[in-house]
């Protein structure tokens, strides 16, 4: 297999995995919160209500970033389907331009630059997940 294809496939797998498990975590925490509300266990104190809201917002951010990472995984798969790294990158840029998500760049970015961008998204997602878990822990302990 051509090296850029291996790198693109590995990046696709990593992005898809990173999209999946935080989504499952958010959904599990949401189900737990609903179950607590139905059972009447949740306190009505203003502090707990504020902690609940601060847990919801990062949860929504985690879900949004998960969707972007899943889309990135698909774009990496498109890039991997080409023989040449630059042709694969150009195809990805063309898709993004046709979907009006990004303007067509003057020059095609390398696979390494694209992977670095995905890594930045993963770091943001992890920060949002940490905020979600912290807010959820406050709600559970209160």
Question: Is the model's pLDDT at 10 over the cut of 90?
Answer: yes
Residue 89 near residue 113 (C-beta atoms within 8 A): no
What are the tens digits of pLDDT across the range 104-131? 999 999 999 999 999 999 999 999 999 8
pLDDT on residue 134: 85
Q: Which residues contact 69 (CB under 8 A, 6 or more apart)?
A: 15, 16, 18, 19, 118, 121, 122, 125
Q: What is the pTM of this model?
A: 0.85
């Amino acid at each position: 297999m051509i090296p850029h294809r291996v790198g693109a496939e590995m990046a696709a797998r990593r992005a898809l995995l990173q999209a999946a498990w935080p989504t499952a975590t958010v959904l599990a925490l949401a189900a737990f919160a609903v179950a607590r509300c139905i059972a009447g266990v949740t306190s009505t104190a203003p502090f707990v209500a504020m902690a609940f809201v601060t847990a919801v917002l990062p949860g929504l951010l985690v879900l949004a970033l998960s969707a972007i990472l899943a889309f990135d995984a698909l774009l990496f798969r498109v890039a991997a389907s080409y023989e040449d790294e630059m042709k694969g990158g150009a195809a990805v840029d063309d898709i993004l331009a046709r979907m009006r998500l990004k303007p067509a760049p003057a020059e095609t970015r390398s696979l390494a630059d694209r992977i670095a961008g995905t890594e930045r998204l993963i770091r943001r997602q992890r920060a949002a997940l940490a905020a979600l878990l912290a807010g959820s822990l406050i709600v559970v302990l209160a």
